[in-house]
Amino acid sequence: MDREYFDYAATTPVNPVVLKEMLPYFSEDFGNPSSVHVWGQRAEAALEAARLECSGLLNVKPDHVVFTSGGTESDNLAIRGTVLWRRKHKGADEIITTPVEHHAVSLTAKQLVNEFGFKLITLPVDSYGMVDPEEIRKRISSRTALVTVIYGNNEIGTINPVDEIGVVCREAGVPFHSDAVQAAAHLPMDLIRDNLDLISIGAHKMYGPKGIGLLGMSGNPQLLPIQTGGGQENHFRAGTQNVPLIVGLAKAFSMAQSDLQERNALISCLRDELIARILDLIPGVLLTGHPTRRLPNHASFVFEGIDGNRLLTMLDVRGFACSSGSACKVGSPTPSDVLLALGIKPEMALGSLRITLGSSNTLEQVVSLAEAVSESVEKLRQ
């Protein structure tokens, strides 16, 4: 049986070109970039070339790229590091966020509230999961330590008006962070254009390796390091850098950011065909997230009267790998907080399906997936 992968928002395979770039740094060029000798110099050269590449793609200074172990760590460093700094130096103790964040953001904020005494302001979102910048304007003040809003949503695909939110934060003099772990694989990134202070990115959503990411920073970064030790990463993140993975991240990021328009045009065509077929074939279905302002590879639905996990299992048996939303939530019997925040009823939210397309998918596969979803939903409803 052919197996077809439709879960590119969970992770992607490493592109062979990316892998080839990484390989020498596991073996012959294995040096520690902090070492003085030639091995160290070679590793340092690769590290700094990767930093330069990533900083160019983000429009920030090379010193303002901090390599981390992935999107989760970047979110933790941005949020915890900034709010602890801002409380100490400015007396700011409020965090403004949204109800549609990835757990790497929402649970970090929750811990800061429960264990460190910060106050949380959760913004309303519309039925597409989008934030209105005016809602931030109403709540932002000198007490705000940080505003953090997801760029492109992992569960529902909606793209937030990050640049407009950034204007509001700039006017109030409050740092603005965005989790762009999904968005950076599909959209041009530019911290200056978007008025962003901090951005989190991970390599494995863009055909790079797992376990590596970065925090991009603009302006005058003001945050405490969360991981302390050596002076690596300009004292923002201690620990010997994982040079092969960093080289892979830079290559994957630069490939993801090239020819964006053409690739997005192709993939969104397939995605739109899939959405149209599913909405047409199946009664009692709702497209979740914004109909047009969404990640180009992202289709997500809720179906009336079914259990999303059972649907996933049925699709898997038929050779289609999809997801119920966030990869971290598979197996959880409770409805997703993100879907509930859109005003979707809990019973309906349990019937969620996320299909995210990527380099291996074809029109033929999309057609057979839509049919498989339709037949499986019908069977489950019986």
Ligand X SMILES: Cc1ncc(COP(=O)(O)O)c(C=O)c1O
Which residues of this protein are in contact with ligand X, per CB under 6 A? 70-72, 75, 102, 104, 150, 154, 179, 181-182, 202, 204, 327
- By C-beta, is 106 or 195 nearer to ligand X? 106
- 322: annotated active-site residue: no
Q: Which residues of 31-53 are buried (b: 16+ CB within 10 A; e: fewer)?
A: bebeeeeeeeebbbebbeebbeb
**What is the smallest separation between the CB atom of 75 and ligand X, expressed in angstroms?**
6
Nearest residue to 342 via CA among 98, 74, 5, 108: 98
Contact 83, 108 (CB under 8 A): no
**What is the smallest separation between the CB atom of 361 and ligand X, expressed in angstroms?**
19
Task: List the 213-217 sheet strands across, edge first.
Answer: 65-68, 213-217, 198-202, 176-179, 144-148, 94-97, 119-122
**What is the smallest separation between the CB atom of 327 and ligand X, expressed in angstroms?**
6
- By C-beta, is 72 or 288 nearer to ligand X? 72
> 333: which 2 tokens?
């019997």
CA 46 to chain centre: 26
- By C-beta, is 182 or 268 nearer to ligand X? 182
Amino acid letter for position 345: K
CA pair distance 282, 373, nearest whole angstrom: 9
**What is the smallest separation between the CB atom of 187 and ligand X, expressed in angstroms?**
13
- By C-beta, is 31 or 81 nearer to ligand X? 81
Q: Which positions ≥6 away from 27 have C-beta within 8 Å?
A: none
Beta-sheet pairing, 198-202 with 176-179: parallel
Burial of 28 (0-12, 13-18, 19+ CB in 10 A): exposed
> 35: which 2 tokens?
């070492």
CA pair distance 345, 359, nearest whole angstrom: 34
**What is the smallest separation between the CB atom of 288 and ligand X, expressed in angstroms?**
15
**What is the smallest separation between the CB atom of 153 and ligand X, expressed in angstroms?**
7
CA pair distance 254, 12, nearest whole angstrom: 16
Burial of 258 (0-12, 13-18, 19+ CB in 10 A): exposed
Look at the chain and count its residues: 382
Active-site residues, by number, are 328
